[in-house]
Amino acid sequence: MTAPAIAAVIGANIRAERETRGFRQDVLAERLKVTQATVSRWESGEREIRISDLLDVAGVLGCSLLSLIDGAHDDADAYRQGYGDGWRECAEDVSAHLSRKPRGRVS
């Protein structure tokens, strides 16, 4: 999976989790201390999200990192099955790609 494809999948999952919890983009952005445009770009896949920001999103939304990476909603079931190779490859690709392009946080 390419980096843009990974960003698009993660972005769609962020949007789904945000909407499920009834958050608007501006509210999520405020809680994350980023701009609404940043959240919009993450959700559309236009901007790759750093792992640290992804962890912050999971914390604010009260969901697992796994649900943001691959859309898994039953965390217990995902853990029992043991993250398949596809998940590991995706997480490694995201981590490697994002570590190559450090980006400043929008304040």
Q: What is the pLDDT of residues 34-89, one digit of tens each?
A: 999 999 999 999 999 999 999 999 999 998 888 999 887 654 444 434 444 454 55
What are the structural domains of the chain?
Answer: 3-100 (1.10.260.40)
| Cα–Cα distance for residue pair 86/89, rounded to 1 Å | 5
Q: Residue 14: pLDDT above 50?
A: yes
Q: For residues 93-100, give the mean pLDDT.
A: 60
Q: Which residues have a Cβ under 8 Å from the Cβ of 23 and sit 6 or more positions away?
A: 61
Q: What is the pLDDT of residue 68?
A: 93
User: Is 19 in contact with 25 (CB distance < 8 Å)?
Assistant: no
| Cα–Cα distance for residue pair 78/23, rounded to 1 Å | 25
Q: Residue 20: pLDDT above 80?
A: yes
For 35, which DSSP code?
Answer: -
Q: What is the pLDDT of residue 2?
A: 84
Residue written as token pair 């559309």: 44
What does the block give as tokens for 39? 């959240």
Q: What is the pLDDT of residue 90?
A: 58
